[in-house]
């Protein structure tokens, strides 16, 4: 916006000489004296000063430095501060190129970037205030706990800035794509007023219907660690990921293996593994699958499969996933290497960088890794209420909370027979889910990923697929995706075979699903393995072979269900609390210090996996008799731990 020329501007500036710093570099290293020891916050681009004057009035315990290159505009800000008799603001009437010329290391506590110029031409990108190198300089002058708070109405600039944050190895502490909706949702008026101070620009453009986006950026690694340059210990780009220190699963599994090597298989209960083992602790492999694999030709192994899967596999996996249910929606299918690939692709294609992905509080760890690896994060709803029922109310609350801030939401439900709980949503639960999804504003888009990795070990084929009729009938802005894995169903864990199947409201959405998921596959792993796809195609093209596979699976499923029941019944007898369980590979015992319980059981040569808030028992890996004995031993061990 063109600013009218102000007469006698420089003479007017003389009236404010006490609060203007003509050469900020002369104060470098001495800002604290100037601020009277108060924490220092900088606003780059203060405009006419509405924001800084309101903030300074509200936070007299802080000191503010308002930077603005347009002297005519800044005059209005100077007037506001003087009129309000505020003494905790100083002004720097300049465009700042490099904050480190003005500030020493760690001199500031926070930086506000409000509605910075988007500089839309591509070749200007280095001059944008959220360009990666500029972000890095801000964090040089900020203390360890310092933050940058960036607000804009410009979607392009915002999404670009998110990528810059990742590239600069920084962390997103908070993000919203609709700040004003979030403000409105705060019930307490005082809290609401304190949550956001509008700038002049913000008031104008939000009034015109523009959504205001805000991101709070922090440091990922403490300063001293980040600056260890003498010896290069890392070459990998950060790209937003955060790998947790030490893998709990891995530690538990290796302890079990070491015990087996030392004491022998019979003396050890290894309930760590997430694969089905027979009563003699041998991995179950379906004979019909094995013989079909062995009958494959060289071409079946060697040739590339089409990215979306070979046509015969696509037909077969549709039957495998849906059983006798005939979907009414438009089905899109893309092959992936394992269910993990399906989940990763769904998260990639149906959420934006910075978004939160929603799942239940007991969840399979890789959900979080997938989210953070893609520059997103994982949010959970409480899976069960105080009565042990699936917590529809909390799911509803979290869906509406997240949708206030983001346009897209991916919800992952792991059912039937979830990992680690063994819980399966009931039909009542599903109707509750449908009710929530039916009330989602049509402008928002929700993708419901149903991670059905354990579906064929959860109960009778048709019974466990009854939920399909609910998700086949959702509104146009909801996209259900079934992540159907062959790892367990066909005992093909290591062959990496699965498919993601969507139930779309229109042919266009189904076609787009295949297009975007294939494109992601192209860049992530390219084609999925052909051999396991061919095996599944052959099984479904041969009724006798299919009957054999189904009969074998039923045999092992019955064995597994009996183990789960045995554990559940004994746990009830012993008074050992377990997380609501229905079927599947795992049962979880809630416990406040999972590591301590696992270690104590390890002393007795019983190996379980610690998860957040409990320990997971793989009944898939232990014989029924042992499943019957374990609850008493676990209960006893808990008692010993006090």
* Residues with catalytic roles: 117
- According to CB under 6 A, which one of 74, 90, 157, 453 is a site residue for ligand PLP? 453
CB of 340 to ligand PLP, least distance (A): 3
Within 8 A by CB and 6+ apart from 263, the residues are 605
If we measure between CA atoms, which residue out of 425, 392, 396, 426 comes closest to residue 409? 396
Contacts to ligand PLP from residues 538-597, by CB under 6 A:
none
Of 392 and 483, which CB lies nearer to ligand PLP in the complex structure? 483
Best CA proximity match to 148, nearest among 165, 123, 169: 165
DSSP per residue, 406-467:
-SEEEEEEE-SS-TTT-----HHHHHHHHHHHHTS-TTSEEEEEEE-TTGGGSS-TTGGGTT
**Using the rule CB under 6 A, which residue among 498, 517, 561, 621 binds ligand PLP?**
498
Measured from the CB of residue 153, what is the shortest distance to ligand PLP in angstroms? 39
CB of 487 to ligand PLP, least distance (A): 3
Question: Between residues 65 and 486, which has the closer beta carbon with respect to ligand PLP?
Answer: 486
Output the CA angle 342-347-349, nearest 5 degrees: 95
Cα→Cα distances 301→65, 117, 295, 298, 495, Å: 66, 55, 11, 5, 11
Nearer to ligand PLP, 146 or 337 (CB): 337
Closer to ligand PLP by CB, 274 or 529: give it: 274
> Dmax of the chain from CA atoms?
96
Q: For residue 609, what is the DSSP state?
A: E
Give 330's contacts (C-beta < 8 A, 6+ positions apart). Answer: 503, 504, 505, 506, 507, 509, 510
The CB-of-493 to ligand PLP minimum distance in angstroms stands at 6
Q: What angle do CA 581, 582, 587 make, to 5 degrees?
A: 40
State in angstroms the smallest separation of the CB of 269 from ligand PLP. Answer: 20
With CB under 6 A as the contact rule, the residue among 53, 130, 419, 533 that binds ligand PLP is 419
Taking the CA atoms of the chain, what radius of gyration do you get in angstroms?
29
Query: 199 is written with which tokens?
Result: 């700038």
If the CB atoms of residues 222 and 244 are measured against ligand PLP, the closer one turns out to be 244
If one asks whether residue 467 binds ligand PLP (CB under 6 A), the answer comes out as no
Closer CB to ligand PLP, residue 483 or residue 576? Answer: 483
Residue 414 lies near ligand PLP (rule: CB under 6 A): yes
Q: Are 449 and 412 in contact (CB under 8 A)?
A: yes
CB nearest ligand PLP: which residue? Answer: 338
Establish if 118 lies at the interface with ligand PLP (CB under 6 A). Answer: no
- Number of residues engaging ligand PLP in binding (CB under 6 A): 13
User: Would you give the end-to-end CA distance of the chain in angstroms?
Assistant: 70
Interface map 326-365 toward ligand PLP (x if CB under 6 A) = ------------xxx-----------------------x-
Residue ranges that bind ligand PLP, judged by CB under 6 A: 274, 338-340, 364, 414, 419, 451, 453, 485, 487, 493, 498
């Amino acid at each position: 916006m063109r600013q009218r020329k102000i007469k006698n501007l420089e003479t007017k500036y003389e009236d404010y000489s006490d609060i203007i710093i003509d050469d900020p570099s002369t104060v470098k290293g001495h800002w604290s004296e100037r601020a009277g020891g108060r924490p220092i916050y900088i606003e780059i681009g203060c405009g006419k000063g509405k924001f800084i004057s309101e903030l300074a009035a509200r936070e007299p315990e802080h000191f503010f430095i308002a930077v603005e290159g347009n002297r005519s505009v800044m005059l209005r800000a100077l007037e506001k501060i003087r009129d309000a008799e505020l003494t905790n603001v100083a002004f720097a009437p300049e465009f700042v190129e490099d904050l480190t010329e003005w500030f020493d290391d760690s001199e500031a506590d926070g930086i506000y970037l409000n509605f910075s110029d988007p500089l839309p031409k591509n070749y200007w990108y280095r001059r944008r205030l959220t360009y990666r190198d500029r972000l890095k300089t801000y964090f040089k002058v900020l203390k360890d706990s310092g933050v940058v708070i960036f607000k804009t109405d410009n979607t392009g600039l915002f999404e670009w800035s998110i990528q810059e944050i990742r590239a600069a190895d920084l962390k997103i502490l908070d993000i919203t794509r609709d700040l004003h909706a979030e403000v409105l949702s705060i019930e307490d008026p005082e809290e609401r007023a304190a949550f956001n101070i509008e700038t002049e620009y913000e008031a104008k453009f939000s009034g015109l219907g523009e959504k205001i986006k805000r991101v709070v950026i922090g440091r990922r690694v403490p300063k001293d660690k980040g600056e260890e340059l003498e010896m290069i210990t890392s070459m990998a780009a950060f790209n937003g990921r955060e790998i947790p220190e030490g893998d709990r699963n891995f530690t538990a599994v290796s302890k079990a293996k070491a015990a087996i090597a030392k004491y022998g298989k019979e003396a050890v209960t290894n309930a760590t593994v997430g694969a089905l083992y027979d009563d003699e602790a041998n991995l179950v492999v379906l004979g019909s699958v094995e013989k079909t694999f062995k009958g494959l030709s060289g071409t079946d192994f060697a040739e590339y499969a089409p990215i979306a899967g070979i046509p015969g596999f696509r037909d077969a996996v549709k039957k495998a996933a849906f059983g006798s249910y005939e979907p009414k929606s438009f089905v899109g299918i893309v092959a992936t290497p394992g269910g993990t690939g399906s989940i990763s692709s769904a998260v990639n294609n149906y959420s934006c960088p910075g978004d939160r992905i929603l799942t239940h509080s007991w969840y399979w760890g890789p959900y979080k890794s997938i989210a953070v690896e893609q520059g997103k994060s994982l949010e959970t709803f409480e899976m069960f209420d105080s009565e042990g029922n699936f917590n529809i109310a909390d799911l509803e609350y979290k869906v509406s909370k997240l949708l206030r801030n983001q346009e897209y939401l991916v919800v992952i439900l792991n059912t039937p027979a979830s990992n680690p709980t063994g819980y399966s949503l009931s039909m009542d639960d599903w109707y509750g889910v449908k009710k929530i999804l039916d009330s989602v504003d049509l402008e928002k888009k929700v993708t419901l990923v149903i991670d059905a990795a354990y579906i064929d070990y959860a109960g009778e084929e048709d019974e466990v697929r009854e939920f399909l009729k609910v998700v086949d009938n959702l509104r146009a802005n909801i996209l259900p995706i079934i992540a159907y894995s062959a790892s367990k169903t066909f005992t093909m864990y290591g062959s990496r075979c699965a498919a993601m199947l969507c139930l779309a409201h229109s042919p266009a959405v189904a076609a787009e699903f295949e297009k975007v998921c294939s494109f992601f596959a192209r860049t992530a792993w390219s084609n999925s393995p052909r051999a396991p796809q061919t095996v599944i195609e052959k099984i479904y093209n041969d009724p006798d072979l299919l009957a054999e596979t189904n009969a074998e699976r039923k045999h092992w499923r019955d064995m597994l269900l009996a183990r789960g029941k045995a554990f559940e019944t004994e746990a009830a007898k012993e008074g050992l609390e377990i997380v609501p369980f229905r079927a599947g590979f795992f049962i979880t015992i809630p416990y406040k210090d999972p590591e301590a319980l696992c270690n104590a059981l390890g002393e007795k040569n019983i190996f379980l996996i610690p998860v957040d808030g409990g320990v997971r028992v793989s009944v898939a890996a232990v014989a029924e008799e042992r499943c019957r004995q374990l609850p008493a031993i676990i209960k006893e061990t808990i008692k010993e731990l006090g």
